[in-house]
Amino acid sequence: MNIDMRLPRRAKILLLTGVLLIGILAGCSPASEAPSAQAYFEDGFNASRRSDWQAAILAFDSGLALESNNSAALAARGRAKLSLAQYDAALVDFNSALTLDPEDGSAFSGRGETHLKLGNDDAAIQDLTRAIEFSPLRYDNYIDRGLAYYHKQQYDPAIKDFTRGIRCNARTTRGYYNRGLASLKTQQYEQAIADFTQVLQDNPDSLGALRRRVEAYKAIGQFDLARADLAKILTVTPEDPIVVVMQAELDYAQKDYENAVVAYTKAIELKPDNLDYYYRRGKSEYHTKLYDQAIADFTHIIEIDPASARAYRQRGLAQYRLKQYDPAKSDLNLAVGLNNQDATSVLYLGLIAADEKQETTAMGYFNRRLELLPDDPTALYERGRLYYNLKRYGSAKTDFETLIQVDPENPKAYYNLGLTFYKFRAYKDAVEQFTRAIALDSTNEWMFYYRGRAYLYLRNKELANADFQHVIDMAPGSKAAELAQGKLR
């Protein structure tokens, strides 16, 4: 400002004083004040309440530029970054907040959830445990820690945490849903059904809960209820390959293999690059005796994934059914080479060796199967039959007696034990075993035939003739009937 030097001295003084006052007043005006850190923080917290995370971060940035040691603001900015999936940046803020305030339960909670998102389950459990110490009634900390345990396949502590979360907030669908998942993993199907039902009461459109409840219903054989849930899902997502596969799995579980093939074929059309769908269709084709088609599906898998042990195994089984023993042996040996714990391939290699009269080789495979699966009924039966054919009746007797202990409802076990006693000329014991076998399966004419022969050696012609006549009546024209006719007296 230029002051006219020609003004009187008094006027000059008054004018300068006025200018100074105006300047002072202007400098103190609220309209010209810079916002304080607390004002920015308040804006940040308000934006967070609105879930306007980007605005919250900008406000906290401005406030922390003025007051960098505010732990609450750092934790809140970390939460905003977490909500925007800016996990590394969120960790920096939570770490800074905890450095300033090592007892900030909110920062422990946020950092634990961030570790959970990053897959750092051990770190998540550690932080969320600390958060729970500070806020024992905060339900989401329990649920998040339960998820970390779930990821680690520690389902029992996961279920305990989900249950605690539900106790703190009975309306938390996250708690029910995740407890349902963990219950599925631990085969607590009734509990899983109850939890998914609770989720559906609060959210009837939850496809996730419907899908999981289908799994639980299927597991306990309630197929009608499973299909009812599946029908609801299909009205919403009829072309979802996952849902189509669920339909196929229900067909497979009910041994409706033909419809399973149809459903898996549709799934493959929807998602042709999914090799698992080819594998499942191949198994369904195998059960419908479409062995060539099954071989084609397993071959497709092998061409894309040459290390698929299960594809080699299943292709080998289909070739076995077609009595194509050489390619079957090749595939089954490849399967065992890729997975030396493959007990199924080992068993069928033994069956092939037995069919080819390679008894020593077959015995080795059956022994290996029993190493992998001690007291396996199939291996015990096949090895017992092999011992019997080799006239090693004592070893056969041991295997059949063990088989009865393992599988007491198996008529073949009693029948073959009866044959073994028959070879020992222990005819009374033989009759006892044949009778037990017949009680479990009265459709096998040979059981009656050999019991009749044992009765003959026991000089009980009446019972022997009754058995022989029964064979003739039940299986006319059969080899057993022909032999029984020759024994009638």
pLDDT in tens, 109-131: 999 999 999 999 999 999 999 99
Span 64-89, mean pLDDT?
Answer: 97
Span 163-168, mean pLDDT?
Answer: 97
Closest CA to 142 of 159, 155, 154: 159
Q: Inform me whether the pLDDT recorded for 251 exceeds 60.
A: yes
pLDDT in tens, 411-452: 999 999 999 999 999 999 999 999 999 999 999 999 999 999
Residue percentage of the chain with pLDDT more than 70: 93
Instruction: Kindly list the distances between the CA atom of residue 43 and the CA atoms of 7, 38, 58, 67, 68, in Å, as whole numbers in the listed order.
Output: 52, 9, 9, 15, 16
| Whole-model pTM over 0.75 | yes
pLDDT for the residue 196: 98
Q: Inform me whether the pLDDT recorded for 168 exceeds 60.
A: yes
- Written as six digits, the tokens of 387 are 């011992």
Angle, CA 475 vertex, CA 472 and CA 481 arms, to 5°:
45
- Written as six digits, the tokens of 488 are 């009638």
Span 164-187, mean pLDDT?
Answer: 97
- Written as six digits, the tokens of 93 are 């803020």
pLDDT in tens, 466-485: 999 999 999 999 999 999 99
Report the chain's mean pLDDT, rounded to a whole number.
93
pLDDT for the residue 489: 76
Q: Are 204 and 213 in contact (CB under 8 A)?
A: no
pLDDT for the residue 395: 98
Torsion over CA: 326, 331, 332, 333 (sign)? positive
Confidence tier at 386 by pLDDT (50, 70, 90): very high
SS3 29: coil
Span 135-150, mean pLDDT?
Answer: 97
pLDDT for the residue 34: 80
User: Within its chain, how far is the Cα of 334 from the centroid?
Assistant: 27
d(CA 403, CA 416): 10
The CA radius of gyration of the chain, in Å to the nearest whole number, is 39
Q: Are 158 and 150 in contact (CB under 8 A)?
A: yes
Q: Are 317 and 335 in contact (CB under 8 A)?
A: no
